[in-house]
Structure 1
Amino acid sequence: MSVIREYEKRDLNALLSIWVAASEVAHPFLTREFLVQEKDNIPKLYLPNTQTWVAEEDERVVGFISLMGNEVGALFVHPDYHRKAIGGRLMDKARELRGELDVEVFAANPIGRAFYAKYGFEPVEEKIHEQTGFDLIRLRLS
């Protein structure tokens, strides 16, 4: 049975391993250095400044979503649990909490782009991600 609940400090290692596994699949174009730095930033910068929810399957954390106001700062599901509606349930929780949502996705991430399009997000802006030089697409769900 799957459960969506608020993140707790004890979830950190599971959350980081989900992020690493999902990033390898969705973001193979990012440098190892950038990913190492981002992994370090998750507990220090991102989690303290977001409201984060985790998805559990059989008492195992398998995905998470982090919100900064109406911005989806992160949505990651372990690749072993892709296509099981977990991302949709996490997004449903965000929608319930915030209503209108914005998210930025790398143009080179077809998995994320397809997910957000299927959920109903529409592009509102394109720009360059300063840290990596890759194209980002800002999407909105009204």
Structure 2
Amino acid sequence: MIRKFKPSDTDHLMNIWDKAEALAHPFLPAEIRAQVRKDIRDIYLPNAEVWVIEDQGAPVGFIAMIDREIGGLFLDPSCHGKGLGRQLVDHIVTLKGPLTVEVFKDNQIGVPFYQRYGFEITGEGKFDASGDETFKMAMPAV
């Protein structure tokens, strides 16, 4: 089931973020990860459009949207490969149409996921906090 975020989800989603982020972004220095974690908890979860996916009644992942840009998509690693990330993106595409995302070039989970979904690299950028290079990706217009 996919549903809107509730403030009572915060601790559970942060636990998911901790596990998923460690796999997706092992290249980020600890101090950058700590700041991003604080920003997720204090800024993004309360202010972005966040959708939660549940499995057997418990949250197992979430997607945070800023207009039509995916600000973050994180799944409990035990749920990787089960199609839940695709379900979240499908849900948002139904609501908003073609999406964009910016992903670390070194994200060995995120880049292939978005490419399999049909996102194309449209440019490059840098993550301000660390200087790490990113890909700007977009779904083709339909």
User: TM-score, normalised on structure 2?
Assistant: 0.95
Unpaired runs of at least 5, structure 1 = none
Q: Supply the AA of the counterpart residue of 1:105.
A: V
Deviation for aligned residue 1:42: 1.4
Q: Supply the AA of the counterpart residue of 1:28.
A: P
Alignment of 1:1-142 (within 5 A): 3-141=1-139, 142=141
Q: Deviations over 1:28-78 (max 9, x none)?
A: 001111111111111221123211000100111000001100010010001
SS at match of 1:123: strand
Deviation for aligned residue 1:11: 0.6
SS at match of 1:37: helix
Contact 1:49 1:68 in 2 (8 A): no
Contact 1:26 1:110 in 2 (8 A): yes
Unpaired runs of at least 5, structure 2 = none
Deviation for aligned residue 1:99: 0.2
Q: Deviations over 1:105-135 (max 9, x none)?
A: 0000121001000000001110121211111
Distance in 1 between residues matched to 2:5 and 2:46, nearest whole Å: 11
Contact 1:102 1:138 in 2 (8 A): yes
SS at match of 2:106: coil
SS at match of 2:59: strand
Which 4+ residue blocks in structure 1 deviate beyond 2 angstroms? none
Contact 2:7 2:46 in 1 (8 A): no
Q: Among the aligned pairs, what percent are the same residue? A: 39
User: Cα RMSD over matched residues?
Assistant: 0.8
